[in-house]
Structure 1
Amino acid sequence: MGFVIRWIFAFVLLTATYNPTEWNYVRWSMANYETSLSLTVLFGLVLLIGYIIYLRATLRSIGIFGMILILAVVGTILWVLFDQGVMSFEDPSINTWIGIFALSLVLAIGLSWSIVRRKLTGQADMDDVDE
């Protein structure tokens, strides 16, 4: 259940930033930055904090190679679904949603990996401490 919650928050973070609908930060800020600059900056900073939390945890737990590996697995699954005729990539908005889904999986796995590793191996990840 914890992974699902982490994935939902990652998905919400990514979709709040950008999605194919008109309801996202990028489009709202482009339309309203002149009249609502303070709100645009505030919402942008809140989103930035969310990205820093997710990206820092993901980079510390699985690293760049792990992120690329997860994206490769998701991409290969999509390739298989396309090759078997289950999925089509004709609609650009569906492609955007697929990309958001894939990136949210990477962030959720990265945030959850330390917990999974500890349960599998019994070893805890610790931050490096300078003494």
Structure 2
Amino acid sequence: MSTFTGTSFGIRLLFAAILVFATYNPTGFSYSHWLIASFEGFSPLVAVLGIVLLIGWVVCLKATFDSLGPLGLVLGIALQASIVWLMMSWGWFSLDSVNVMAWVVLLMMTVLLAVGMSWSHLHRRLTGQVDVDEISD
């Protein structure tokens, strides 16, 4: 078995961040903005990059769903939401700024995807148990 390190998690976090922020971000430089701007002149490059992003999302979401399961996803979202609520109560930011909230939600998605893609490794480290996918005959 390969070892799981902080660098391993960092690579997954970087991949998730690229995927999430390339798909959409409030700066106006994202695939979503590009797609909307070029909708009438839809080109093969837009299609190819859209399919590449879709493949990335399918891989990340499948790994996250398989690893965390429905309860893990709910708990992860609840934890992140409560952390955001805590930071808002400390006055770090408020709901008044749509851009700030968009960045926060995108960051939460990035972290949840990275944890989901890493969870089997983290679970094995914490418990000594290995997750195995069931394969039907």
Q: TM-score, normalised by structure 2?
A: 0.88
Aligned positions, number = 131
| Structure 1 gaps, min length 5 | none
In 1, Cα distance between equivalents of 2:12 and 2:113: 8
Deviations 1:61-100 (A, max 9, x none): 1012211211111111111111122322322111100000
Deviation at 1:34, TM superposition (A): 3.1
User: Which residue matches 2:108?
Assistant: 102
User: Which residue matches 1:60?
Assistant: 66
Equivalent positions of 1:1-131 (< 5 A) are 1-131=7-137
Report if the CA contact (8 A) 2:20-2:106 is conserved. Answer: yes
Deviation at 1:108, TM superposition (A): 0.7
Report if the CA contact (8 A) 1:33-1:40 is conserved. Answer: no
Q: TM-score, normalised by structure 1?
A: 0.92
RMSD of aligned C-alpha atoms?
A: 1.3
In 1, Cα distance between equivalents of 2:47 and 2:77: 31
Report if the CA contact (8 A) 1:14-1:100 is conserved. Answer: yes
| Structure 2 gaps, min length 5 | 1-6
4+ residue runs over 4 A deviation: none
In 2, Cα distance between equivalents of 1:90 and 1:64: 31
User: Percent identity between the aligned chains?
Assistant: 37
Deviation at 1:112, TM superposition (A): 0.5
Report if the CA contact (8 A) 2:93-2:100 is conserved. Answer: no
Please state whether the residue corresponding to 1:85 is helix, strand or coil. Answer: coil
